[in-house]
Chains A and B, each alone.
Chain A
Amino acid sequence: MFDFLSEYDVLGAFWTNVQLTVYSAIGSLIWGTILAGMRVSPVPVMRAFSTAYINVFRNTPLTVLIVATSLGLNSTLGVTLGGEDFDQMGFRLAVLGFIVYTSTFVCESLRAGINTVPVGQAEAARALGLGFSQVLGIVVLPQAFRSVVAPLASVLIALTKNTTVAAAIGVDEAALLMDEMIEIESQALFLITLVIAFGFVVLTLPTGLLLGWVAKKVAVKR
């Protein structure tokens, strides 16, 4: 019953999803943290930029961003991001799109986390003579991160599922493979769907359970 699966590189396709997720997650975490820092910074221009960025990219559908990296950046403006062939270019453009989109959610989660840190922490830090970047980097952000593990885990899981959107620009990942398989093996529709769906359950459920446990472990008890 599962014979036909051996003709397709199902694991390889899911591996692409995992890679997309990992690269995009790292990029979004870094860029999202920078955005959050700008959002609460003393420099009005940076605050305005961060606010505008979040309002724009949070409200843009991810598919529009992914299609825009391919149609706009690549085909029209000739941006290749150093990719040598179609596959590599598509992969890198998709990661760029995911970072642009997901970082807004990372930033918003972090900002909510910063709000959970008691005022006294920042006041004490300022009383010691620390400047803004020290207050934020040494005192507030480390505590904020510990309280946002659960929301960030949800963002990560949503990102894992969102990597299927890369199919829109032809990245060979699980959903695109599913589409190809359905085309050829239409009699096995339910089986194919079950296999692909199960793959995503396997990717997301353990992440959720593990990070949910971590969230409880590291949460600052108040």
Chain B
Amino acid sequence: MSAPSVLYDAPGPRAKRRNLLYTVLFVVAFAALMWWVIGAMDEKGQLDWAKWEPYLAGTEAWTTYLLPGLVNTLKGAGLAILIALPIGALFGIARMSDHWWIARPAGMIVEFFRAVPVLVMMFFANAAYAEFTDIDSDVRPLYAVVTGLVIYNSSVLAEVVRAGILSLPKGQSEAALAVGMRKGQLMTNVLLPQAVTAMLPAIVSQIVVIVKDTTIGGALLGFDELLAQARPAASFYQANTIATLVVIAVVFIVLNYLLTSFANWLERRLRRGKKSTGAVVGGDMVEEQAPGMHLTDESTGHRMN
């Protein structure tokens, strides 16, 4: 069912009137909600121009609070994806090993860390760095956040890599084995390069998840990222809490929307491509996957494309 219009007929005169009625009712309900929100904000003075001015008409708030925060967000997320990718690839390949004593432990580690909330791993990393290393307490939150993100996301990416390799047509490995390649050569020369291309949309979608998860470190570990700027900025600019939160949310929405659109564009392009095998691991796979639910299982075929 591709077009939603299959769910209803082209509206006749009665349906047109009814749709108009629904439109009016919906707009009235929405306007009432907005009226309440604006009223509540106005009552607390949150709509005053002075509260929004620092963000809309000045650069100081951006250069003092938001941009340094955004840089830290990107730094944390960038480090996390760069470190998690090779580890994830390693575990994904290990899980597909022919030797059970490699495949089983790798599978158990991946399943375990996918089941544990990323915040738990961040708390653990933070305390472990404080206890066992002499990392300066200024940068410890960054280390802890990146470590927590790496532990969780490398196990997610391991599954993405596995799905990417499994999405390739069987003829690829058969042909490679037929020309006399070893298993290692098959993986590094034939399967991985194609799988990486197929995985790109899923990897970009995972970056969105990582960007969102850096805020956990900001709220709970004192990592100086974008969301952590909310309190200092709001207290400096006369309690413009709502304005600050809205601006921060908008920055995240724009950033993540661009990344998601990029992932969708990649996915469409790969599907259309004539040079490749047409194998794609879609972006929607990553956000919905969970432990115990196998991505490559036929019965849950939605995420594997």
Contact = CB atoms under 8 A, between A and B. Distances in A.
B123 A179 contact: yes
B241 interface: yes
A151 B23 contact: no
Nearest to B241: A76
Contacts of B212: 60-63
B11 interface: yes
B208 interface: yes
Contacts of A142: none
B4 interface: yes
Given A46-B26, A67-B219, A76-B46, A175 B117 contact: yes
Interface in B252-273: 252-253, 255-257, 260
Interface residues of B, number: 72
A117 B119 contact: no
A61 B209 CA distance: 8
Interface string A160-180: 011011011000001100110
A121 B288 CA distance: 27
Contacts of B115: 161, 197, 200-201, 204-205
Contact of A158 (B214, B255, B287): B287
Interface of B: 1-2, 4, 6-9, 11, 15, 19, 22-23, 26-27, 30, 40-41, 44, 46, 111-112, 115-120, 123-124, 127-128, 131, 208, 211-216, 218-220, 227, 230-231, 234, 239, 241-242, 245, 248-249, 252-253, 255-257, 260, 284, 287-294, 297, 299-300, 302-303
Interface of A: 39-40, 42-46, 49, 55-56, 58-64, 66-68, 71-72, 75-79, 105, 108-109, 112, 114-119, 121-123, 126, 131-132, 135-136, 140, 147-148, 150-151, 153-158, 161-162, 164-165, 167-168, 174-175, 178-179, 182, 186, 189, 193, 196-197, 200-201, 204-209, 211-212, 215-216, 219
